[in-house]
Amino acid sequence: MNHTPVRPSDVSGLPPPLRRVTANVLTDLGWLSGVFNLPPYQSLIDFLAPGVQVIKFTAVRLPNTVDEIPFVALRREAVRLIEPTLSDELVEAAGSAGRTTPREVACLLPGGRLQGTLEVLVNVRVSDFLRQQASLIVMRRCILAPYGELLESPKARQLGTVVVNLASAIGVAEWEWAG
């Protein structure tokens, strides 16, 4: 017997209302702001799943503009970073990574370095962990600073949670390398 709970949308036949996830997205144009519309229980990482070449982004504001564009189909390869601007809930599916330990790393991006904390599986080297990732990693407590600037520089930007597109990173540096 199937004991799957029935959600109201299952009864009516209508899809459930979408969850609005506001975010800032770093591209070659600069920072865009807008909304990802996700099913209620889907994580942001699952929404951005590999194989999806176009990411739906709504209520978009381009850098240095006041006009809002209702819809932009972002090319996956054009996205460098995604900073969800709401709470940290449902960025990743709960328990999806397993038992982890925090590691201090920096993503080397064309415009600067993103330094922060990456949760890596226990007893796994950062390099091995990165080889197992599809194309996105989640970093927390980050600072994005242009090269040549200190992390405390006024040109640096503090970011709580960031989804990094590894395809747009030059590399990932580990501060406390264990050999």
- Express each pLDDT in 37-76 by its tens digit: 998 888 888 888 777 789 999 999 999 998 999 999 999 9
- Express each pLDDT in 79-109 by its tens digit: 999 999 876 667 876 555 678 899 999 999 9
Whether residues 78 and 104 share a domain: the answer is no
Whether residues 115 and 144 share a domain: the answer is yes
Whether residues 63 and 115 share a domain: the answer is no
Query: What is the domain extent for residue 39?
Result: 13-84
Hey, what amino acid is at 129? F
Alpha-carbon distance 65 to 61, whole Å? 7
Identify whether 5 is part of a domain: no
Rounded to two decimals, the pTM is 0.85
Share of the chain above pLDDT 90, in %: 63
Identify whether 130 is part of a domain: yes
The mean predicted confidence, pLDDT, of the chain is 86
Whether residues 63 and 116 share a domain: the answer is no
- Bridge partners for 72 per DSSP: 57
Identify whether 48 is part of a domain: yes
Whether residues 24 and 68 share a domain: the answer is yes
Q: Which burial class, exposed, middle or buried, applies to 175 when counting CB atoms under 10 A from its CB (0-12, 13-18, 19+)?
A: exposed
Hey, what amino acid is at 147? Y
Instruction: Report the Cα–Cα distance between both ends of the chain, in Å, rounded.
Output: 52
Q: Return the closest-CA partner of residue 69 out of 29, 111, 119.
A: 29
Q: What is the CATH number of the domain that holds 158?
A: 2.30.30.100
Q: Taking 60 as the threshold, does the pLDDT of residue 34 lie above it?
A: yes
Total domains, the chain: 2
pLDDT attached to residue 89 = 61
Residue tagged 């970073």 (tokens): 81
